[in-house]
Chains A and B, each alone.
Chain A
Amino acid sequence: MPDMQASSMTHHAPPVNGAQRMSGAEIFLRSLDAEGVEVVFGHPGGAVIKIYDEMARIQPKFKHVLVRHEQGGAHAAEGYAKATGKVGTVLVTSGPGATNTVTGIADAYMDSVPIVVFTGQVPTQLIGNDAFQECDTIGITRSITKHSFLVRDVRDLAAAVRKAYHIARTGRPGPVVVDLPKDVLLAETEFEYPKEVNLRGYRFKARGDDAKIQRAAAMIAEADKPLFYVGGGAVGADAADVLTRIARTARIPVTTTLHGLGAFPEDDELSVGMLGMHGTWYANMAVQNADLLIAVGARFDDRVTGKLESWAPHAKIVHIDIDPSSISKNVYVDCAIVGDVRDALMRLEPLTGACRTEAWLAQVQAWKAECPLVYEQGDGRLRAQYVLERLRRHTKGEAIVVTDVGQHQMWAAQYFQFLHARTHITSGGLGTMGFCFPAAMGAAFGRPDKTVVSISGDGGFVMNAQELSVAAAHGLPIKVVIINNKFLGMVRQWQELFHDERFSHTDLSDTNPDFVKLAEAHHCVGLRAETPDEVDGVIREAWAVSDRPAVMEFRVAKEEMVFPMVPAGASTDEMITKRLTPNAFV
């Protein structure tokens, strides 16, 4: 494979004290420092006690954040990675410490988030003996990691750390697990942090083919109804600026996926917002009528396409992606550019001029006017969409907004208007309830210069609420929004639409905590609004808090549903744009 470049070797490790003998635990800590790690989200335990002991002794350069649940640690590392573009780091003990990170690892795998998870392991001679706090961490995480290492010899430890960070951050990013048996951490050897990575089986194509880029430019020039379809890969590759320039020069409208939000400013007239199941009607109309889709760092997920055969029926497809396995996985593409998204767009840019898209843009504008995003207002009831619109006005597109999973997530995607890359962080692929607050905490550690807003539902917030006191202890002024409809709202919506209104086990009113008291018990400020009039006051009060999280509970109408909606598995043409009687779906 002559066009496959060897993995990049440009990483510059800081100088280290060569040939000094030390324990595996100290080698581990010094390796993290050499790697330039800023923050580690961790929780101690028996198998990693030596690491924590050495941490107290040698005082490494990185900050260690003691999380209160390992899952929170993994999501915090994800939030840090997504907000900064750097690799997030997690350190946990063996057995339950490792299994508690599994959801976070799977989440990072689905959403291509670079994190490295270091797990303690029982001593090598006990592996396989069902020892106390033993589990087969490598086996359990095999199908949800980009790669994993079990370090059996202290002499391999520094190289394993070096490889783990290299694999996590390069190519299509993803989670890497490094399993550290206790005896390896106790054993001693000389420490030298390797400058180069030797991974003969690891290759990724960083530079897309010239011929393909020229062909894509020709297809763009010929198209009458082109549309950019932009995913999280464009954000991950820091390609938002060049993408925005090309779209504006060529006059091509842009739709983004959930993870693509912010890659193109949504206040631009070329933006049609998000596409897919809960995308805008006009974005989906544009997809169904386009004659050319330029997919940038997107993977044709089922929440985007709905029924595959009837999706984008008239469009030729150009697909730019770093991962060859994303090409034609779900939808056959006519022109595939495998390579770094930013590099490919930078080379495409000089080949694209203004396209003849006036008629197409006029049609798109007409669709926007025909069916904009709307919700009921003026009846005195508080609705989630109103809260999100007020938050948008207050933050002016400059805050980092982290969302959980469910109705509030879709409303935030629809109503917030994202203007910058890395200002929207959510759990998309795995759809992990409980992701939001710890991820927001990770983002706040990574970007202390930014206001971080955490937006959850009442169901998801409770799943990792324990991290509130961690954020409070570190004085992080996170703005914590809880959209409380006393229901698992998205499940309720499906039950109402597709299951004859049998609201089976989705009513949370008996089991929800008092969120204001919950906040106060975790040393945070707790606030509450129940009517539209109270919203602005609560937001102002929360933004005045500067030394701890401010939790805002908004008690909203439970009957509200997210529209538009393409029912699961249905064709995009069958989009529901307003509330209909449930009988329509029988």
Chain B
Amino acid sequence: MSEQNTLTPQQILRKKAQGEAIGPGEQTHRHRHIIAVLLENSIGALNRVVNLFAARGFNLESVTVGETDDPSISRMTIATTGESRIIAQVNRQLNRLIDVLEVEDLTSEEYVERELCLLKVPYASDNRVELLDTLKIFQGKVVDVTTNTMTFEITGPAKKINAFIGMMKRYGVEEIARSGRVAMKRALLFGD
């Protein structure tokens, strides 16, 4: 007898509400979420947020932090993945922290997301033009150059950065530095 037959209607309802698999053919739904957090601008506050992810076993893909227009407040952008029950917990646990002023799950909204990447790649005279052509397609910039390496700066959504890194791999990338995501809700001035 399959598990599904033994579940009560109430058990099926609970599993669905939590985004869990019910039958053997189904999969638990995990999604990436971008969460913006406004918090007190102190090392202690930053530490509490990051510590929360470790202590509660939440996934933390990337985290960025910087001051806002109010120097006493900093803004964090957190990228995390999990089923809906876990993401709801992440939001609630963040809200519980006394240093946290506001938590917003941007994934449920229209939002823009950017990441910056610095990438150092060796070049030779035979592939220099090809490299710069690719960089142009990705609207990147050369920020440093030596006789045998170039360092590129590129910004965009994480997917675009991934694609660019993928293109550069065959040239033998020497070093990559990624900033992690920053994100902001769209204003939606003109409606749909």
Contacts and interface: CB of A to CB of B under 8 A. Distances in A.
Interface in B1-23: 7-8, 10-11, 13-14, 17-18
B23 to A, nearest CB: 14
Interface in A92-150: 138-139, 142-143, 146-148, 150
Interface string A453-468: 0000000000000000
Contacts of A328: 17-18, 85, 88
A142 B14 CA distance: 33
Contacts of B10: 313-316
A374 interface: no
B65 to A, nearest CB: 16
Nearest to A315: B10
A323 interface: yes
A324 interface: yes
Contacts of A139: 47
A146 B96 CA distance: 9
Interface string B75-117: 0000000000100110011011111110000000000000000
A309 interface: yes
Contact of B96 (A138, A323, A334): A323
A340 to B, nearest CB: 16
A167 interface: yes
Interface residues on A, range: 20 to 34
Contacts of B14: 331-332
Given A327-B92, A332-B17, A201 B44 contact: no
Interface in A294-328: 309, 313-316, 323-325, 327-328
Contacts of B96: 323-325
B40 A142 contact: no
Contacts of B98: 146-147, 167, 199, 201-202
A201 B88 contact: no
Interface in B104-151: none
B55 A201 contact: no
A332 B100 contact: no
B48 interface: yes
Contacts of B55: 143
Contact of A325 (B11, B18, B47, B92): B92
Given A324-B95, A325-B93, A201 B11 contact: no
A329 interface: yes
A200 interface: yes
Contacts of A147: 98-99
Contacts of B17: 328, 332
Contacts of B92: 324-325, 327
A315 B93 CA distance: 26
A329 B95 contact: no
A313 B11 contact: yes
A200 B51 contact: no
B36 interface: no
The interface residues of chain B, by DSSP majority, are classed as helix
B39 interface: yes
Most buried by A among B8, B88, B98: B98
Contacts of A201: 39-40, 97-101
A575 B132 CA distance: 70
Contacts of A334: 13
Interface in A530-544: none
Contacts of A167: 98
A325 B52 CA distance: 13
Contact of A329 (B39, B89, B99): B89
A388 B143 CA distance: 78
A325 B89 contact: yes
Contacts of A146: 98
A300 to B, nearest CB: 12
Most buried by B among A202, A309, A324, A325: A325
A323 B40 CA distance: 22
Contact of A332 (B7, B18, B44, B99): B18
Contacts of B39: 201
Given A200-B101, A202-B98, A325-B89, A313 B47 contact: no
Nearest to B40: A201
A142 B48 contact: yes
Contacts of A316: 10
A167 B11 CA distance: 37
Nearest to B100: A201
Interface in B37-65: 39-40, 44, 47-48, 51-52, 55
A146 B52 CA distance: 12
A148 B48 CA distance: 10
A199 B98 CA distance: 8
Nearest to A176: B98
Contacts of B47: 139, 142
A142 B97 contact: no
Contacts of B99: 147, 201
A143 B98 CA distance: 13
Interface in A135-188: 138-139, 142-143, 146-148, 150, 167
B11 A309 contact: yes
A332 B84 CA distance: 11
Contacts of B88: 328
Contacts of B11: 309, 313
A504 B18 CA distance: 41
A332 to B, nearest CB: 4
A138 B44 contact: yes
A169 B17 CA distance: 33
Nearest to A1: B102
Contacts of A200: 101
Interface of B: 7-8, 10-11, 13-14, 17-18, 39-40, 44, 47-48, 51-52, 55, 85, 88-89, 92-93, 95-101
Given A167-B98, A324-B92, A331-B14, 16 more contacts: A138-B44, A143-B52, A147-B98, A147-B99, A150-B44, A200-B101, A201-B97, A309-B11, A314-B8, A325-B92, A325-B95, A325-B96, A328-B18, A328-B88, A332-B13, A332-B18
Interface of A: 138-139, 142-143, 146-148, 150, 167, 199-202, 309, 313-316, 323-325, 327-329, 331-332, 334
27 contacts: A138-B44, A139-B47, A142-B48, A143-B52, A143-B55, A147-B98, A148-B44, A201-B39, A201-B97, A201-B100, A309-B11, A313-B7, A313-B11, A314-B10, A316-B10, A323-B96, A324-B95, A324-B96, A325-B96, A327-B92, A328-B17, A328-B85, A328-B88, A329-B89, A331-B14, A332-B17, A332-B85
Going nearest first, the 5 A-B pairs with the smallest beta carbon separation are: A325-B92, A332-B14, A143-B55, A313-B8, A332-B17
